[in-house]
Structure 1
Amino acid sequence: MRRGWAKGRTWTGAGVVMACLGLAGMAGALTPAFGGLSRNLEAVLDTSPDGPPARVTLGPGGRDVRLWGDLNDGTAERLRRLLDANPGVTRLHLTSDGGLVDEGAAVGALAAERGLTTYVPDYCVSACTLAFVRGRERLIVADSRLGFHAPYEPGLFGQMIPVDSSDERGRYLAAGLEPAFVEQALATPSRDVWIPDPARLRAAGVVTGVVGPGDLPDSTLDDDDSPGGARAAVLRAVDLLAAFASRRPGVLDGIAARYRDSYRQGRSESDGLDLIRTEAAGALRAAFAGADDATLAALGRLVLDAMAASGSEESCRTIGRDGDLLAVAEALPGRRGGVARMRALLDRALAGPAPIVPDAVPHARPPSPGCAELHRRLAETLARGDALRLREALFGRNARRLEASARPGEP
């Protein structure tokens, strides 16, 4: 849920606490005397700022700073200290759903003073936009979200009390934003959020450029670049990998570690996603290399269904020629249903022993037949029940070695 932004201190949670305790609970908590009410009210109502302090960290190579989280007291001062210690920083990545107006304005003042480019890789809402619009250049990705609404002060019981927005109006206009845009932004009720599309943002002077996911360093782990954070990001990118979590966690942890290294090297989001998908595809192929013949036959039928549903010659050939099992799951009608079918087969494959997969043997790829021919060959192989030929059809010329390594105890 996106929260609002307030002038002065942001007080959140009071209304929730009141609702949870109920009138009787509140009466009991506040009964001793009205003299104790003023001293204990903040503790009783939980009127502390919402969320943990923003995470402010130096990015790979010392060229950018990553700010993630609520703009609470001291955020701008921590940013200032980090910038003082790292004069080579040229860009500020912002991912925040808001916070204190004064902190947002102070972060923006630092961006303007240091000549920083501001960049929103995901979302920047409410007070965060006061920081974003002060950038020398102001960049977003096409699906980034900038959210605007009127400022407010929180009431004693959590209500949003409208306040004069002339300060915010002046800050937006001074940053060069179109007056009509500013009026619409500040006319948006405090409980709502207006998220303009990139074209509107550019026309109003809010954004100076829209970049692609391959243009700037990845910001996916700005909130948590620990091994656990990388693991969670990998699972969000390819949820099929969750099948490895209990049966072969080392596979999942290895992919997460290599993705974390990619992030820390400053590689782009596109590079990181490509790495995850390539590693995931390899993990799926290795898992199915040791599967029993019945599971492999079921996989073959799934591949046939995906080829038929792929919708284009190119995607069909990618599935039938390259054996991209992620593409198989994604091509099936109703993507979630395709993933579920693949997951069920993957669970069966992972129930067996883990194969020892040898390095791939490089070889020149022969000219690939068309989709219809690939489909016909796979269908005929399934009909014959030839397990080895099926492995070759699914995994290529390395299939014999894959099969042998997957079952080292067999003659």
Structure 2
Amino acid sequence: MRFIETPGWGRPVKAGLCAFAIGATGFVALSPLTKIMASVPAPAFTSQSAASSSEPTEADTRVALGPGGRDIRLAGDLTEGVAARVAALLAANPNVERIHLTSDGGLVDEGQALGALVAERSLTTYVPDVCASACTLIFVRGRTRFLAAGGQLGFHAPYELGPGGQFEAVDPGAERAAYLAAGVTPDFVARTMSVAPEDIWIPDPAQLRAAGVVTEMVANDRFPDSTLDADPSLQGARVEILRNFPILSAADQAAVDEAAIWYRDGYLAGRTEAEAVEGLRQRASAAMRRQFRAADDTTIRALGLVVLTDLTAAETCDAVAAGDLITLDETLKRVRPGSAGLAALLARQAPEIRNREVRLGHRLVPSICTGLIKAVRRALTRTPHEAALALRSILLNDPPALFASAAHP
């Protein structure tokens, strides 16, 4: 049984995967489990013939109709029967125009069958995150082929599993012909077929465009969000929120649950990823403002010290003016590597900040931020309780206070 799969290459966080160059060929080998390996781990399929408890099953691959019946979402390995499931969904939904692909690869026969379906229906193909190995046999058959910014396509030669699960090279003629028939340039195809089965080549967007693999790179506001394609449950939404906004682990969990409902409902309604991210940032910021407003005076004073002394004036001004504690948290982690961010203040785990003496030296700040800096500086010269009251008004109002008036004596 022929495979083109990327064993062990799990779906990445949205930020992208880690790829590492090896040698002068420009190939890259990828493994999500370690940053030093030059090849991927052992294959997910351990046998050609007999299924085992560790072998992926049809149920592991999700095939579903997207919002409005305009697209199909495929998330998971190309196991036996996946093409038949997609064919049935297409037959029942004649208005489908596009297929979203998130897959590490799998059976060549399934990839080729799905590619034929895509070509027959003249579907657009779209990869929001990752499409590797046999999945690319589907992608290249699209009438128009879209890759999300930050998304990745991975290529290598097909193989069979021999005794003991060893990789065995096979004649790549059928796969070569499929890529060429899709209009991919011969030099790109040749390079693809030269990549060892245990390795993977991840071309950059310019290479993909030049070779005719990708029609257009698109931002995350172009198509409905595909982040929850593999698990559109409320728990799946909650996991994605906490993975992207870990500071919410310190927030009231009812707020996280409310955000998960909003996120999942928007996904089902066809909201774009850009809209989802912006909405979640606003909800996360509001939840953290509520959490800090309920904190003790020492914690609020520590927050004021962070704003005044640890962040640059421009970053502070923009984030606080928007009431955006998420950006403040992200900036703090960036300027203080290893920091737990604002969550440490709520958890009383940042004594180096909480116990710091106020030393308010002057510094040059952009004029647009002068009011904010003066307001925080003045607040921190007061008694601890009065400082906390003033800082709650300055930093945690919903919407934020006008800092210019607060800065005057």
Q: Same fold (TM over 0.5)?
A: yes
What letter is aligned with 1:236? Answer: R
Match of 1:14 among 46, 66, 77: 46
> Take 1:397 and 1:56, find their aligned partners in 2: how far apart are those partners?
42
* Cα distance in 2 for residues equivalent to 1:2 and 1:167: 19
The 1:398/1:102 distance shift into structure 2, 3 A limit, reads closer
The alpha carbon displacement at 1:327 in A equals 1.4
Q: Does the aligned pair in 2 maintain the 1:11–1:50 contact within 8 Å?
A: no
TM-score by structure 1 length? 0.78
The equivalent of 1:97 in structure 2 is: 104
Instruction: Give the direction of change, closer, same or farther, for the CA distance of 1:146–1:50 in structure 2 (3 Å limit).
Output: farther
Check conservation: 2:64, 2:74, Cα contact below 8 A: yes
3-state DSSP class of the match of 2:80?
Answer: coil
Conserved 8 A contact 2:146-2:214: yes
Distance of aligned partners of 1:377 and 1:336 in 2 relative to their CA distance in 1, 3 Å threshold: closer
Task: Give me the whole-angstrom Cα distance separating, in 1, the residues matched to 2:323 and 2:54.
Answer: 56
* SS of the residue 1:157 aligns to: helix
Distance 1:142 1:242, change over 3 A: same
Displacement of 1:50: 7.1
**Structure-1 separation of matches of 2:233 and 2:114:** 26
Match of 2:316, as an amino acid?
A: C
Give 1:341's aligned residue. Answer: 341
Task: Name the larger-Rg structure.
Answer: 1
Aligned counterparts, 1:63-82, within 5 A? 63-82=70-89
2:146 match: 139
Within a 5 Å distance, the mapping from 1:161-310 to structure 2 comes to 161-244=168-251, 248-308=252-312
Partners of 1:12 and 1:398 in 2: CA distance: 51
SS at structure 2 position matched to 1:219: coil
Distance 2:151 2:398 in 1: 43
* Correspondent of 2:63 among 56, 60, 63: 56
1:340 counterpart SS class: coil
CA spacing shift, 1:379–1:346, aligned 2, 3 Å = same
- Partners of 2:398 and 2:155 lie apart in 1 by 56
Q: What 5-or-longer segments of structure 1 have no aligned partner?
A: 16-40, 350-367, 401-411
Q: 1:345–1:2: structure 2 CA closer, same or farther, 3 Å change rule?
A: farther
Question: CA–CA distance in 1 between the matches of 2:295 and 2:165?
Answer: 57
User: How big is the shift at 1:295?
Assistant: 1.1
Moved more, 198-207 or 327-336: 327-336
Alpha-carbon RMSD: 2.7
Inter-CA distance 47–286: structure 2 relative to 1 (3 Å threshold): closer
- Aligned pair count reads 345
Q: After TM superposition, give the deviation of residue 54 of structure 1 in Å.
A: 1.6
Per-residue CA distance 1:234-286 (angstroms, 9 max, x = gap): 11121111123xxx321110011111111111011111111111000000001
Partner of 2:7: 3
Deviation string for 1:343-389 (max 9, x for gaps)?
1222359xxxxxxxxxxxxxxxxxx9622442132112111132322
Matches within 5 A, 1:364-403: 370-385=368-383, 386=386, 387-396=388-397
Sort the Cα spacing of 1:121 and 1:336 in 2 relative to 1 into closer, same or farther, 3 A: farther
Q: Give distance in 2, aligned partners of 1:335 and 1:88.
A: 50
What is the Cα deviation at residue 178 of structure 1?
0.2
Shift of 1:46: 6.6
- Structure 1 residue aligned with 2:39: none
User: Whole-Å Cα distance in 2 between the matches of residues 286 and 333 of structure 1?
Assistant: 21
Contact 2:333 2:341 in 1 (8 A): no
Matching residue's letter, 1:149: H
Distance change in 2, residues 1:46/1:323 (3 Å): closer
Change (3 A) 1:212 1:270: same
Q: Is 2:153 the partner of 1:149?
A: no
SS where residue 396 of structure 2 aligns?
helix
Q: Deviations over 1:67-96 (max 9, x none)?
A: 000000000000000011110000000000
**Structure 1 residues 196 and 148: alpha-carbon distance in aligned structure 2, compared to 1, 3 A threshold:** same
**Partner Cα separation in structure 2 for residue 336 and residue 274 of structure 1:** 25
Following the alignment from structure 1 to structure 2, what is the Cα–Cα distance between the partners of residues 83 and 340? 48
Cα shift at 1:52: 4.9
* Kept in 2: contact 1:307–1:319 (CA 8 A): no
> Deviation of residue 337 (structure 1)?
4.6
Q: 1:32-62: per-residue Cα shift (whole Å, max 9, x none)?
A: xxxxxxxxx947x778457854210000110
1:319 CA displacement:
2.9
